[in-house]
Structure 1
Amino acid sequence: MINEAMFRGRSRRLAVGAITVVIVLLVSMWSTWSRGNTSEVLDLKEDGLDFINKEMHAASKPSPHPSRNKEDLYRTMNTKQQFCRIDSTPKIKPSLPRIKPFDWVYGSDITSRLNSTFEIINKKSAYEVCDRIQVRITARNGRNEQKRFGGDYFRSRIVTNDHKGHTWSSMSDGEVDDHGDGTYTATFTLKWPGEVVIRIYLVHPSEAVSVLQKQSQSQLARYSYKGIFCSNHGPVVQEERECNVFMSPQTKHVCKFTDRRTRLSWYCHHPTRAGLNCSHWCRFRSDSRSAITYMMTTLPEKEKALFQTSIMNNRNLLHSKDYTVQAKPDIHQRMDFLPPCKPGIHGNSFAHSGYYADDEWVSSYCNILRFSSSFPATLDCLRKKTLFFLGDSTVKQLFDYFMKRLEGNVEIFHGNTFSAGKSAPILAVDEKHRINLIFRSHGYPIGDDAVYDIQSIQYLANTLDDMKVGDKSVVIVSIWRYFTPHSESLYEERIRTIVEAVKRLHTRSPKTLVIFNSANTGNMDTLESVVYNSDWYARNLDEILRRELSGYDRIGFLDSWEMTNAQLFPHRTHPVGMHVQNLADHLLSFICPSSQLK
């Protein structure tokens, strides 16, 4: 336990002096990790956030908003639209097809974006909003021959740009169906009136997918991580060794670090310098430079050339002679409102997707309130609440949004002065409104190239087990980004440990709101981004996440995959444009749904 004398001498305001000590103690408790085969980090037992809230309340009681009542604020944020009726029976998205590994000889064997085509099936002379259309995609190779097998990765979208500068966009209803014979079907629900343009993109030809699939099923390391071993007894001795989630059984002299509770393991080569052993592991970092060098030296030239065709840009758009339909307004199939966002409403149904109307995301399943248009409503929703943002840098992006939204009201405390990367623990406190924002990364692997003290790293299942939560706690989980260079089985195992921990959390605190965020599309503008972070990997991880969550209806779900597939901004691992703002509005709509105001 850190001695409180460490904090003496800090010139802080008297009203928050005691609070600072508690906060730093809290963060330090998150960083107490016994080396070897244990992992004990987070301990919010007796004097956790409840104590901080009491101190804040005594120092500064919040005052109500002076001018407008809560119902007025929420009513003005409600988007006045009508919505297509959907099948209320949840349907699990079908598993993505797997193809048998195969070889190709000539460049003309590869699926050609220029020769592949699409057409509207049984096109009608007139359509109405809420009608569905189906599009048949035919994959052809460089010789303009129809492909006789599936596996191509197509992305589909519908878009409208009217003469007034307004835009609408949506992805297909679920993923493109692969029939395994070189033909594919994309299904769209028409959600707005006007001229609707169909866009089909070839993300990866099946030949590239075959290589990606082989890599995703392999246990061999495709990314590089380093473990730093250090001894401060006597002369300082340090050594950096290779680490990873898996090492070949033929590898000799390996340090195996197994978490005592989750039984998850991490491996490092044993240090070779005298005076160092496995117990001297002190720091961790990823090594993207070595990973890229390894890829460039081991990836066959044939496959490099193949992946060059997969670098995402507008040239991947397929052509069609007939790619538009006219949708007329129709009120007979529409509803005037959507139900409030609540646990159990998540993206396992593929009835039809949501869509963007200009910069606003419109869900097909629940009513998203526009908190971003009202700062007082945001404060009112977050007041007296503690939000835990757990996972990778994509949930950190959401955490940063709220930090900026509350700018000027929060004090920030970092959990470890040595760990300065995107995944370092952070606690932010708004004393006036009694709001606590906490970010904590997931455990190994972490791939942001920063150096971390291993005491600051913990598996999410243990974090969830150790948290003290209550009715005013909200937990947001997003974990996928650093798993794309690894086997799907590793991700599946990790998600299962987290879901089981969420169930245990709900046993302790049934009213704690837990929300998962899905994977999102990313940039594939370089060879290494395609090989390590392809959207094909992310799509598979997203499928695993949805499958593991499908049997548990006590969670909320933010569908970033659907949102980023529909957006008109460039695809980025950390999405640009209005994505994060819409994600925050959706999150707050779970925390403060309109039904609570009635």
Structure 2
Amino acid sequence: MSLRRRKRFGSLSGTAPTKRALRPPGEARQGLRKGRHGADCYQTALRRARARGEIVGCTPMHPKPAVVRAWKVTSGTVEDPAPRESQRAIRAVSLTALWALNGGIHIKKFQPPRPKPVPRNNSSSIISAFDMGISDEEWERLQKAIDWPFPDQEITYLNQSTSPVHSTFSIVGLKESYQVGEKISVIITARDHNKDLKRYGGDFFKAKLFNAELKASVYGEVVDHRNGTYSVELLLPWEGQAQVFVRLEHSSEVVQFLKKYMESSFPRTHFNGYFEGPGPNKTRIREVVECYLKWGADGNWRKGDCCCEHKDIKTGTVWQCERPKKLSCDKLVRHAGGRMESPLNLFEQQLFTKQLTNVAISGDKKIINVFPSTAPIGTMEKCRSGMSTPVPAGFYLKDVWNSFVCKTRQFSPAQKANCLKNKIVYLMGDSTTRQWFEYLERNVPGIKRMNLHTHPKGGPLMAVELKNNIVVHWSMHGVPLRLGVVMPIIDLHYISNDIDEIAGGAHAVVVFTYCAHLVFHSITFYIYEVAKIRQSVVALLSRAPETTVIIKSGNTAGLKNIYQSDWYMLRLNTVMQEMFRDIDGVILLDVWQMTSCHYLPENIHPGPVVIANEIDMLLSYICPA
């Protein structure tokens, strides 16, 4: 036990414990005296606790000594051996609350309670590169790609975290006018709730340039200098006026929690498995149990002989369900999302409040005047595979996305039908590719949905247009999958398995996304699944190199909490891009910037204007200009 940790647990109130402080309050002492072991019981317990290396301290911030707690640290996890009665007594103790008015935000200042124990099993730390199906060199490269700075200390007060009220941005060397194609530099300075400069990085800021009247905007990448300051370079791509907008989505302290719980096996979401089979006298037995992913050598989220295991033969992914009381394990027939469970303790919840999440910060609101330029802006290069995504990847003007990746165009309904003539389009993944299916269904003349007797939100779905011989499929990926509807589990296919069943060819367009539902699970499991998909894509392009393969990135989401955060999505996007970076014949369609800078409120299901621009990008790759 380090001195730092010993000191922190030994005296949570900030002062060294004294003999008096280590004594229980009057009622507790009286109870010990009346106990059959006598008054020496308490002091003997203290001596034995110290001899075992346990740490004895007091309940923090209470005017009188409270019930003594012995904390034992085993394998890095804090365990609380106190009986339930003692825990209730401690929870009943009123914490001293100091309220401070901070720029219109009331902040409750208190010492954090003991964190909820995070299960140690199924942790990323015990997963090797071999387990993920990649090389040690690739794992090292991926770790560098997703590296994110974190606080250099464990904060114990909310006011030590980054404040959106006191953090600011400024434009460096602002001029009276600019020309289209020039750039401006923006400096972001992070401060805590005491108005003190932050000494470390890790805050999750987002920045953009916009003009509301022109419906124009462009994304800016925030560079973390790891000392409390950040910089952004913003391109000036349109003629007219522009303003800078910066927001703090998560403080570095919150990002630290996001990473911790993403890499733990704590089940932030649960799933329901529906078992059904024959009963006596021609009846049907139905049972609903909880299910979850099994990942890692000790990946059971329930211990003992608790569960049925359903292993996909090709991918090796194991899905666990609690054992039904009456039915056998092979009677699992349907799947749905279940309850949510938060791992956050009271202190962490304070940091996740809406007043501190996804909040615009103050700064230079001056109007930037941009005049025409004789130098061309944009690109005339034909859309094809193997193209990198620059920052910015494009910009909106009058609600039309102008790509800097390749030459895109807007497709009329007739042009959409002509582009997809004699094509079979396979859309796979989640509800964001279903939005693409529904858009094509509405905007390609003559296309009709076939009645496959499936749920319209869960699929699989199919639409055809006979005149131009167009077929469009959509299907959900396999579990883990958080659905709001109950679906036959046989209709949920792993993307890699579906790709293995496609012959491919010049007529085939394979589009998949694999992001939104994976934010609940370890990054190592995500890498494992993406490695399987990559293997199938490489095999497809080997047997049919004329096949068009497009990966749609994840987009920004509306919720910014422990369950669904853009920081999770950004991390998964980075892994997907890195793992497919060197695969010839694959197109990476980055919609992250398209959803991050648009004026519509961020939503896991982007608005119609954004979807229309995404489809124009898609068709520009299928039918390049």
TM over 0.5: yes
Does residue 360 in structure 1 map to residue 400 in structure 2?
yes
Does residue 167 in structure 1 map to residue 215 in structure 2?
yes
Residue 221 of structure 1 is matched in structure 2 by: 267
Q: State the alpha-carbon separation in 2 of the partners of residues 572 and 192 from structure 1.
A: 26
Residue 467 of structure 1 is matched in structure 2 by: 502
Residues 310, 487 of structure 1: CA spacing in aligned structure 2 closer, same or farther, 3 A cutoff? farther
Residue 232 of structure 2 is matched in structure 1 by: 186
Match of 2:533 among 498, 501, 511: 498
Q: State the alpha-carbon separation in 2 of the partners of residues 93 and 396 from structure 1.
A: 33
Please identify the structure whose Cα radius of gyration is greater. 2
Residue 434 of structure 2 is matched in structure 1 by: 396
Q: State the alpha-carbon separation in 2 of the partners of residues 304 and 468 from structure 1.
A: 50
Matches within 5 A, 1:346-495: 346-347=388-389, 349-350=390-391, 352-371=392-411, 374-406=412-444, 408-414=446-452, 417=453, 419-420=454-455, 422-495=457-530
Q: State the superposition RMSD in angstroms.
A: 2.2
Q: CA deviation at 1:400?
A: 0.7
The answer to whether the Cα contact below 8 Å between 1:225 and 1:284 also exists between their aligned partners in 2 is: yes
Amino acid in the other structure paired with 1:570: P
Corresponding residue SS for 2:244: strand
Amino acid in the other structure paired with 2:372: P
The answer to whether the Cα contact below 8 Å between 1:338 and 1:365 also exists between their aligned partners in 2 is: no
Corresponding residue SS for 1:578: helix
Amino acid in the other structure paired with 1:338: M
Q: State the alpha-carbon separation in 1 of the partners of residues 215 and 147 from structure 2.
A: 30
Residue 561 of structure 2 is matched in structure 1 by: 530
Residue 556 of structure 1 is matched in structure 2 by: 587
Residues 249, 301 of structure 1: CA spacing in aligned structure 2 closer, same or farther, 3 A cutoff? closer
The answer to whether the Cα contact below 8 Å between 2:209 and 2:217 also exists between their aligned partners in 1 is: yes
Residues 310, 224 of structure 1: CA spacing in aligned structure 2 closer, same or farther, 3 A cutoff? farther
Amino acid in the other structure paired with 1:240: V
Q: CA deviation at 1:585?
A: 0.7
Give deviations 1:16-62, integer Å, cap 9, x for gaps. Answer: xxxxxxxxxxxxxxxxxxxxxxxxxxxxxxxxxxxxxxxxxxxxxxx
Match of 1:521 among 556, 560, 576: 556
Corresponding residue SS for 2:363: coil
Q: CA deviation at 1:423?
A: 2.6
Does residue 263 in structure 1 map to residue 311 in structure 2?
no
Residue 250 of structure 1 is matched in structure 2 by: 303
Residue 373 of structure 2 is matched in structure 1 by: 330
Match of 1:232 among 259, 278, 283: 278
Does residue 578 in structure 1 map to residue 599 in structure 2?
no
Q: State the alpha-carbon separation in 1 of the partners of residues 290 and 445 from structure 2.
A: 40
Q: CA deviation at 1:592?
A: 0.9
The answer to whether the Cα contact below 8 Å between 1:102 and 1:210 also exists between their aligned partners in 2 is: no
Amino acid in the other structure paired with 2:368: V
Q: CA deviation at 1:377?
A: 1.2
Q: CA deviation at 1:101?
A: 8.0
Q: State the alpha-carbon separation in 2 of the partners of residues 459 and 322 from structure 1.
A: 48
Residue 34 of structure 1 is matched in structure 2 by: none
Q: State the alpha-carbon separation in 2 of the partners of residues 253 and 545 from structure 1.
A: 34
Q: CA deviation at 1:123?
A: 4.0
Q: State the alpha-carbon separation in 2 of the partners of residues 269 and 300 from structure 1.
A: 27
Q: State the alpha-carbon separation in 2 of the partners of residues 514 and 497 from structure 1.
A: 15
The answer to whether the Cα contact below 8 Å between 1:97 and 1:178 also exists between their aligned partners in 2 is: no
Answer with 560-569 or 467-476: which moved more. Answer: 467-476
Corresponding residue SS for 1:482: helix
Q: CA deviation at 1:149?
A: 1.1
Q: State the alpha-carbon separation in 2 of the partners of residues 285 and 543 from structure 1.
A: 28
Q: Which has the higher contact order (CA 8 A, sep 6+)?
A: 1
Corresponding residue SS for 1:245: strand
Give deviations 1:404-437, integer Å, cap 9, x for gaps. Answer: 11365314132xx4x5262321111111221101
Does residue 567 in structure 1 map to residue 598 in structure 2?
yes
The answer to whether the Cα contact below 8 Å between 1:101 and 1:210 also exists between their aligned partners in 2 is: no
The answer to whether the Cα contact below 8 Å between 2:243 and 2:365 also exists between their aligned partners in 1 is: no
Corresponding residue SS for 1:564: helix
Amino acid in the other structure paired with 1:412: M
Does residue 302 in structure 1 map to residue 347 in structure 2?
yes
Identify unmatched segments of 5+ residues in structure 2. Answer: 1-142, 295-299
Q: CA deviation at 1:210?
A: 1.4
The answer to whether the Cα contact below 8 Å between 1:488 and 1:541 also exists between their aligned partners in 2 is: yes
Q: CA deviation at 1:282?
A: 1.6
Q: CA deviation at 1:301?
A: 2.3
Q: State the alpha-carbon separation in 2 of the partners of residues 562 and 93 from structure 1.
A: 22
Corresponding residue SS for 1:532: coil
Corresponding residue SS for 1:586: helix
Residue 69 of structure 2 is matched in structure 1 by: none
Residues 543, 324 of structure 1: CA spacing in aligned structure 2 closer, same or farther, 3 A cutoff? farther
Q: CA deviation at 1:100?
A: 5.2
Match of 1:541 among 569, 572, 575: 572
Q: State the alpha-carbon separation in 2 of the partners of residues 124 and 462 from structure 1.
A: 56
Q: State the alpha-carbon separation in 1 of the partners of residues 449 and 263 from structure 2.
A: 44
Q: CA deviation at 1:560?
A: 1.1
Residues 186, 408 of structure 1: CA spacing in aligned structure 2 closer, same or farther, 3 A cutoff? same
Residue 507 of structure 1 is matched in structure 2 by: 542
The answer to whether the Cα contact below 8 Å between 1:120 and 1:323 also exists between their aligned partners in 2 is: no
What TM-score do you get using the length of structure 2 for normalisation?
A: 0.72
Residues 279, 342 of structure 1: CA spacing in aligned structure 2 closer, same or farther, 3 A cutoff? same
The answer to whether the Cα contact below 8 Å between 1:471 and 1:512 also exists between their aligned partners in 2 is: yes
The answer to whether the Cα contact below 8 Å between 1:346 and 1:556 also exists between their aligned partners in 2 is: no
Amino acid in the other structure paired with 1:365: V
The answer to whether the Cα contact below 8 Å between 1:519 and 1:560 also exists between their aligned partners in 2 is: yes
Residue 71 of structure 1 is matched in structure 2 by: none
Residue 25 of structure 1 is matched in structure 2 by: none
Q: State the alpha-carbon separation in 2 of the partners of residues 336 and 446 from structure 1.
A: 39
Give deviations 1:208-251, integer Å, cap 9, x for gaps. Answer: 11111111111332111011222226442222221111323734
Corresponding residue SS for 2:558: coil
Match of 1:138 among 189, 193, 207: 189
Match of 1:198 among 240, 244, 251: 244
Does residue 589 in structure 1 map to residue 620 in structure 2?
yes
Q: State the alpha-carbon separation in 1 of the partners of residues 530 and 522 from structure 2.
A: 13
Identify unmatched segments of 5+ residues in structure 1. Answer: 1-91
Residues 255, 502 of structure 1: CA spacing in aligned structure 2 closer, same or farther, 3 A cutoff? same
Residues 200, 272 of structure 1: CA spacing in aligned structure 2 closer, same or farther, 3 A cutoff? same
Match of 1:111 among 151, 162, 180: 162
Does residue 341 in structure 1 map to residue 357 in structure 2?
no
Residues 384, 110 of structure 1: CA spacing in aligned structure 2 closer, same or farther, 3 A cutoff? same
